[in-house]
Structure 1
Amino acid sequence: MNFVNPTKGRMDINKMFQDIMEFVEEDRNSNYKLMVGTDSQPGKIICFVTAIIIYREGNGARYYYRKFSNRRIPSFKQRIFMEANYSIELANQLLEKLSKTGRKDLNIEIHLDVGENGKTKEIIKEVVGMVTGCGFEAQVKPDSYGASKVADKYTKSMTNII
């Protein structure tokens, strides 16, 4: 699984996690949020992008993303649940790495591309329930910028799929 940081380029999950930890260690007095969000763009195939953001509250952030494709998904609802599932899978991997470092202060938020407006409003409770049932905090639009802004930015083009 390869990730891209716009400044540092391609990296595997271990290098990405190391970079996140180095960013956190630069300023131990700050508060941090670790966010994971996935968005998708339908077409002949579906482009999925999962974004990971480490946000130093009030003082910058770094983000990473991975881009991959999947065959067409039969329904819109199924695609939204797949987005959530991809985010949960990656969040679990990050949580495992965090537990090995002893960093229990970095909670992981899952950013969902659902909101009160549009067709996703009917499935908000189901998707949020899926995320919270897995032990993560869920954010929805307009607060789910990890999915609705960062990941969304990279779903628009199928070029350079990782």
Structure 2
Amino acid sequence: MAKDYASNITFQNLSNKDMSFERVFRNIEQFMEKDPTGNFKLMFGTDSQVFSRETRFITGIVIQQERKGVWACFRKVIIPRKMTNLYERISYETTLTEEVVSLFSNEKKDILIDIVLPNVYRGASFTVEGHIDIGAGKRNKTSIFVKEMISRMNTLGVKAKIKPHSFVASSYANRFTK
């Protein structure tokens, strides 16, 4: 993805506003470098909320070290209209997740992999997941979109997770859509 595109995207969390992607990446690197023998999951997911005059989308990035903690941030995108079509909203949520995932080029992923690689034989691991705010249950209105959205995540080389395992979208991002 073009470098100028990445420079126009900003992220925030409870501690920092207007973080560049480079700053976000550095925070993830530093989080992993604290204990390179850990089991890390880099997770992405988007949720949305429809309001009377806009639809708010929040895309979360979460780096988790199993049983040791997390570092997280999010990107906010506001569309100045009510997006009432469920397919349009779910598809756009997935698109926003894909955009953020694509910022993590192979070079960036290799930097993160190289942090844990010397410790793989001591149990270290690194996985990347795309969390989609949809469910496969028969009563879930989004179940008809599951195959398509999972396929889109898998195409990026990201392990897709849906409800109830898609907590970055359904819990973390959801908190900031309100």
Which TM-score band (shorter chain)?
0.7 to 0.9
Runs of 4+ in 1 over 6 A off after TM superposition: none
Deviation at 1:10, TM superposition (A): 3.6
- 2:29·2:112 contact (CA, 8 Å) conserved in 1? no
Query: Bigger radius of gyration, 1 or 2?
Result: 2
Deviation at 1:96, TM superposition (A): 4.1
Matched, 1:23 2:31: yes
State the partner residue of 2:40.
Answer: 32
Deviation at 1:92, TM superposition (A): 1.2
- 1:50·1:87 contact (CA, 8 Å) conserved in 2? yes
Answer with 125-134 or 81-90: which moved more. 125-134
Matched, 1:137 2:159: yes
- 2:41·2:126 contact (CA, 8 Å) conserved in 1? yes
- 1:91·1:108 contact (CA, 8 Å) conserved in 2? no
Unaligned runs of 5+ in 1: 157-162
State the partner residue of 1:116.
Answer: 136
Aligned residue among 58, 66, 79 for 2:67: 58
- 1:33·1:56 contact (CA, 8 Å) conserved in 2? yes
Aligned counterparts of 1:96 and 1:5: Cα–Cα separation in 2: 25
Relative to structure 1, is the Cα distance of residues 133 and 22 closer, same or farther in structure 2, using a 3 angstrom cutoff? same
- 1:50·1:147 contact (CA, 8 Å) conserved in 2? yes
- TM-score with structure 2 setting the length: 0.80
RMSD over aligned Cα atoms: 1.8
Answer with 75-84 or 64-73: which moved more. 64-73
Other structure's SS at 1:40 match: strand
Deviation at 1:97, TM superposition (A): 5.1
Unaligned runs of 5+ in 2: 1-8, 115-124
Question: Following superposition of structure 1 onto structure 2, how do residues 83-122 of structure 1 map, counting pairs within 5 Å?
Answer: 83-96=93-106, 98-99=108-109, 101=111, 103=113, 106-117=126-137, 118-122=140-144
Relative to structure 1, is the Cα distance of residues 149 and 102 closer, same or farther in structure 2, using a 3 angstrom cutoff? closer
Q: How many residues align?
A: 156
Overall identity of the aligned pairs, in %: 31
Matched, 1:4 2:15: no
Per-residue CA deviations over 1:86-123 (Å, capped at 9, x if unaligned) read 10111111234524626266432110000134211121
